[in-house]
């Protein structure tokens, strides 16, 4: 499945909660969009910085 970078970043932004770790957020986005966690982490790191 092809998912646009902006959709991954939008989904990542929506998962924000003070008590959540980045790893938990990556997992949530990956499950929601049907992609692997490594892809989510790479896209976020590339576009948001070292998070």
Q: Tell me the domain boundaries of the chain.
A: 5-48
pLDDT over threshold 60, residue 51: no
Residue 43: the pLDDT is 95
Report residue 29's pLDDT band, with 50, 70 and 90 as the boundaries.
very high
The chain-wide mean pLDDT, for the chain, equals 92
User: pTM of the entire structure?
Assistant: 0.87
Integer Cα distance of 51 and 38 in angstroms: 14
Residue 41: the pLDDT is 96
* Tokens 């966690």 found at: 37
């Amino acid at each position: 499945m092809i998912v646009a970078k902006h959709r991954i970043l939008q989904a990542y932004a929506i998962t924000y909660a003070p008590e959540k770790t980045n790893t938990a957020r990556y997992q949530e986005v990956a499950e929601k969009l049907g992609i692997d966690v490594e892809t989510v982490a790479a896209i976020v790191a590339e576009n948001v910085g070292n998070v």
